[in-house]
Amino acid sequence: MDFPSPTSHRTTLVTTPFSRSDLADLAAILAEAADREILPHFRRLADDDVSTKSGPLDLVTVADRAAERHIAERLADRFPGALVVGEEGCAADTTLLDRLASAERAIVVDPIDGTFNFAAGLPLFGVMAAVVIDGRTVAGVIHDPIGGDHLCALAGEGAWSVGRDGGSPRPLRVAPPAPVAAMHGPLSWPGLPSPDRERVAARQARLAMAYCLRCAAHEYRLIATGAAHLALYGKLMPWDHLAGALIHAEAGGHSARLDGSTYRPHHRDGGLLLAPDEASWHALHEALLGD
């Protein structure tokens, strides 16, 4: 099967009205929200602090809502006029998602990615934000509240990590290519439509290992730092993937939706496969989804 060319290793260098200083301020806002609104609730949630949304595994906590409010208020001060598209805000007002594609500047926020883990007391959750300008993702941050560090990327300028105490940024690089049987990474096949769902579930043993952390923030950390080779997702809500997909691309990776098309901020379905390079992407697609 022929595919359009997936996302290249690095985004073409362009001038963007979002600087490294802006990105550092965005990361600081996420870290502040984590320290003030999220960590004080970690392993201290009462039963009535947790509720469900679309189903029993789709949780929201008082910390999610408080963190998103804090982030939105700080973003309004630092980036006035930007459309803030938060996961919890969209649950209350679905029109926010529809405005994302046409917004001159939008900041997409996931106040707690991995709420299931957070509510269970597992230290695998993150805070994510992506900046979309005229329909294009230009910046991304993934903050780890437990580790106190974050991953960042600017379109065309690379991806890097910044430690809890600051210091010099460390460049990120994806894992080198490997045979399919030697590759491992997170597979979120339950979100795929049939027959892809059944096909991937049956074929995951073709990899060295497949797993799911129930936290895209930490799964993107794995693939962007070279600790894992691949990731596959079904449902594409922007707060789950925009920041991580940009960081992965700027770390040298290659990604595309399952039909080979480029992933864009307005996409909500079509799946997403991320790999070390284009050849690996095609090899993985054939192994997991090929006829």
Among residues 171, 199, 220, which one ends one of the domains? 171
Say what percent of the chain tops pLDDT 70. 95
Q: Which residues, including other chains, have CB under 8 Å from residue 135's CB and lie 6 or more apart? A: 101, 102, 264, 265, 266
Among residues 171, 204, 220, which one ends one of the domains? 171
Q: Which residue has the higher pLDDT, 91 or 210?
A: 210
**Rounded average pLDDT over 240-258:** 98
Looking at the domain assignment, is residue 3 inside a domain? no
Q: What is the C-alpha separation between 182 and 126, in angstroms, rounded?
A: 28
Q: What is the C-alpha separation between 68 and 110, in angstroms, rounded?
A: 8
CA angle in degrees (0–180, nearest 5) for 257-260-263: 40
Among residues 171, 193, 220, which one ends one of the domains? 171
**Rounded average pLDDT over 173-189:** 97
Phi, psi at 245, each rounded to 5°: -65, -40
Q: What is the C-alpha separation between 18 and 84, in angstroms, rounded?
A: 15
Say what percent of the chain tops pLDDT 90. 87
Looking at the domain assignment, is residue 13 inside a domain? no
pLDDT by residue (tens digit) across 30-61?
A: 999 999 999 999 999 999 999 998 888 889 99
pLDDT by residue (tens digit) across 262-281?
A: 999 999 999 999 999 999 99
Using the predicted structure, report yes or no on whether residue 287 has a pLDDT greater than 50: yes
**Rounded average pLDDT over 136-151:** 97
Residues 147 and 244 in one domain: no
Q: What is the C-alpha separation between 199 and 105, in angstroms, rounded?
A: 38
The CATH number of residue 262's host domain is 3.40.190.80
Looking at the domain assignment, is residue 84 inside a domain? yes
**Rounded average pLDDT over 121-150:** 97
Using the predicted structure, report yes or no on whether residue 160 has a pLDDT greater than 60: yes
Q: What is the C-alpha separation between 106 and 100, in angstroms, rounded?
A: 7
The CATH number of residue 26's host domain is 3.30.540.10
pLDDT by residue (tens digit) across 53-105?
A: 888 888 999 999 999 999 999 999 999 999 999 999 998 888 899 999 889 99
Instruction: Select the highest-mean-pLDDT range: 94-103, 158-167, 218-227.
Output: 218-227
Using the predicted structure, report yes or no on whether residue 291 has a pLDDT greater than 90: no
Q: How far apart are the first and last CA of the chain?
A: 9
Q: What is the dihedral of CA 249, 272, 243, 34, to 10 degrees?
A: -130
Residues 195 and 147 in one domain: no
Per-residue model confidence (pLDDT) at position 10: 42
Looking at the domain assignment, is residue 101 inside a domain? yes
Question: Of 134, 142, 140, 169, whose CA–CA distance to 156 is shortest?
Answer: 140
Q: How many domains does the chain have?
A: 2
Range of the domain at 199: 180-289
Looking at the domain assignment, is residue 25 inside a domain? yes
Question: Of 111, 69, 108, whose CA–CA distance to 85 is shortest?
Answer: 108
Residues 25 and 122 in one domain: yes
Phi, psi at 289, each rounded to 5°: -130, -5
Looking at the domain assignment, is residue 5 inside a domain? no
Q: Which tokens in the block code for residue 274?
A: 């991320």
Residues 191 and 282 in one domain: yes
Q: Where are the beta strands (DSSP E) in the chain?
A: 50-52, 59-61, 83-86, 105-113, 126-133, 136-143, 150-154, 158-163, 166-171, 184-188, 209-211, 231-233, 254-256, 272-275
pLDDT by residue (tens digit) across 255-267?
A: 999 999 999 999 9
Looking at the domain assignment, is residue 10 inside a domain? no
Residues 148 and 185 in one domain: no
Residues 140 and 208 in one domain: no
Question: Where does the pLDDT of residue 8 fall: very low under 50, low under 70, confident under 90, or very high at 90 and above?
Answer: very low
Looking at the domain assignment, is residue 76 inside a domain? yes
Per-residue model confidence (pLDDT) at position 58: 85
Looking at residue 267, its amino acid is H
Residues 35 and 160 in one domain: yes
